[in-house]
C-alpha cells in the first residue's frame, strides 16, 4: 500500500513539473456521518450468551455519529474527461458502540437480575490524503463520478464510556432490593498507530459560483483495512463492566474465552462535500 501511495504522489509531482501541465486548486469541506463496526465483538457476545444460561440478552449495536473534514485540493487536468485530484484534509469523526447485557438467575429460589446498558463513544482525529480520479460525464462535463483511495493517518483518539447498571434481588418471586448506578469515565485510546485505507466512491455536479466554480458531491468511504481500538488505562478496565471489551486486558480475556480477537474494527463514512476552486495554474489545453 505504501508503494502505491508513493507511485500516485510521484505521478502528481511529475504532472506539476511539466511545462504544459494545468491544474486547479481549491478548498473543500465535508459533513456527514461515520460508523465503527466490529463483527468479532458481536460474535464473541453471542458465544458468551450460548454458554451461560443466566445471560438472557447480550447484544451490540453501532450507531453513526457526526463527522467533518476540512482541507484543500490540487487537481491535475489529464484530459477534458478526466482529472486526478490530490487532497490533504483534517478529519474528525465520532461513533458509538453500545453493549447491552441482561442476566437473570431465575432457575434458583434466591434470584437476582442485572441489566447493564453501556455506551462507548469514540472520537477519532486524522490527517487524511485522498487521491481520486474524477470522470466527467456528458458534453458539458458538469456531472461527474469519482473513485480512488484515501489514506488516514491517526492523530489522536478518545473514548467516553457511560453505563447504567440495574441490580435487583428477588426472594421467592418478590423484589427485595433494587439499585441503579450510573458510571461515566473517559480515556485515551492508545492502540491506533497504523495507517488506515479506504476506497472512495462518489458522484457530484459542478456549477458557477461567483467568479469561480463550486462542486457539490456525495461520497462513501468503504474501509479496506481493519484496526484495534482499546485503552491500556487500568482504571477504565476496573470501572466499566461491559466497556472493558475496549481495554487491553478485556480484549485479551475475550480472545482467551471465545477465540475472537478484537482487531477488526472498521470505519464507514458517508459525506456530502462542497468544494470551491480558488484558481488555476499552467497550460491552456483544457477550456473551463
Per-residue model confidence as pLDDT tens digits over 233-269:
999 988 988 999 999 999 999 999 999 999 999 999 9
Whole-angstrom distance, CA of residue 234 vs CA of residue 82: 53
Q: What torsion, rounded to 10 degrees, do the Cα atoms 192, 185, 180, 119 define?
A: -30
Whole-angstrom distance, CA of residue 213 vs CA of residue 277: 6
Whole-angstrom distance, CA of residue 104 vs CA of residue 40: 25
Does residue 287 lie in a domain region?
no
pLDDT band at 163 (very low <50, low <70, confident <90, very high): very high
Whole-angstrom distance, CA of residue 212 vs CA of residue 71: 18
The boundaries of the domain holding residue 232 are 2-282
Query: What is the number of domains present in the chain?
Result: 1
Distances (CA, A) of 194 to 91, 151, 155: 16, 10, 10
Q: Give the SS3 label for residue 256.
A: helix
Q: How confident is the model at residue 283, as a pLDDT?
A: 61
Cell of residue 81, nine digits: 474527461
- The proportion of the chain whose per-residue pLDDT surpasses 90, expressed as a percent, equals 74
Does residue 256 lie in a domain region?
yes
DSSP class of residue 207? E
Q: Give the SS3 label for residue 83.
A: strand
Whole-angstrom distance, CA of residue 90 vs CA of residue 147: 20
Contact 113, 126 (CB under 8 A): no
Q: Average pLDDT for residues 9-20, to the nearest whole number?
A: 49
Q: How confident is the model at residue 256, as a pLDDT?
A: 94
Q: What is the largest CA-CA distance in the chain?
A: 88
21, pLDDT greater than 70 = no
Does residue 263 lie in a domain region?
yes
**Mean pLDDT, the chain, integer:** 89
pTM for the predicted model, two decimal places: 0.85
11, pLDDT greater than 60 = no
Lowest mean pLDDT among 40-49, 120-129, 172-181: 172-181
Q: How confident is the model at residue 287, as a pLDDT?
A: 41
Q: How confident is the model at residue 16, as a pLDDT?
A: 47
pLDDT band at 174 (very low <50, low <70, confident <90, very high): confident
Amino acid at each position: 500500500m505504501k508503494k502505491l501511495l508513493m507511485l500516485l504522489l510521484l505521478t502528481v509531482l511529475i504532472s506539476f513539473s511539466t511545462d504544459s501541465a494545468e491544474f486547479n486548486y481549491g478548498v473543500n469541506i465535508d459533513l456527514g456521518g461515520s460508523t465503527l463496526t466490529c463483527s468479532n465483538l458481536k460474535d464473541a457476545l453471542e458465544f458468551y450468551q450460548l454458554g451461560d444460561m443466566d445471560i438472557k440478552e447480550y447484544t451490540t449495536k453501532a450507531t453513526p455519529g457526526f463527522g467533518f473534514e476540512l482541507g484543500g485540493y490540487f487537481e491535475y487536468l489529464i484530459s477534458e474527461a478526466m482529472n486526478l485530484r490530490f487532497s490533504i484534509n483534517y478529519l474528525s469523526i465520532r461513533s458509538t458502540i453500545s453493549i447491552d447485557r441482561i442476566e437473570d438467575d431465575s432457575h434458583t429460589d434466591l434470584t437476582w437480575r442485572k441489566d447493564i446498558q453501556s455506551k462507548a463513544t469514540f472520537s477519532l482525529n486524522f490527517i487524511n490524503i485522498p487521491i481520486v480520479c474524477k470522470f466527467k460525464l456528458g458534453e458539458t462535463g458538469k456531472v461527474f463520478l469519482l473513485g480512488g483511495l484515501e489514506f488516514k493517518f491517526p492523530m489522536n483518539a478518545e473514548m467516553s464510556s457511560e453505563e447504567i447498571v440495574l441490580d435487583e434481588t428477588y426472594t421467592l418471586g418478590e423484589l427485595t432490593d433494587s439499585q441503579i448506578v450510573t458510571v461515566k469515565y473517559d480515556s485515551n485510546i492508545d492502540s491506533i498507530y497504523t495507517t488506515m485505507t479506504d476506497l472512495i466512491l462518489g458522484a457530484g455536479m459542478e456549477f458557477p459560483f461567483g467568479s469561480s466554480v463550486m462542486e457539490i458531491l456525495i461520497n462513501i468511504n468503504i474501509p479496506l483495512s481493519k484496526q484495534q481500538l482499546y485503552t491500556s488505562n487500568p482504571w477504565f478496565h476496573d470501572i466499566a463492566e461491559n466497556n472493558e471489551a475496549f481495554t487491553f486486558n478485556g480484549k485479551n480475556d475475550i480472545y482467551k474465552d471465545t477465540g475472537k480477537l478484537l482487531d477488526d474494527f472498521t470505519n464507514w463514512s458517508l459525506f456530502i462535500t462542497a468544494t470551491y476552486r480558488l484558481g488555476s495554474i499552467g497550460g491552456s489545453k483544457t477550456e473551463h
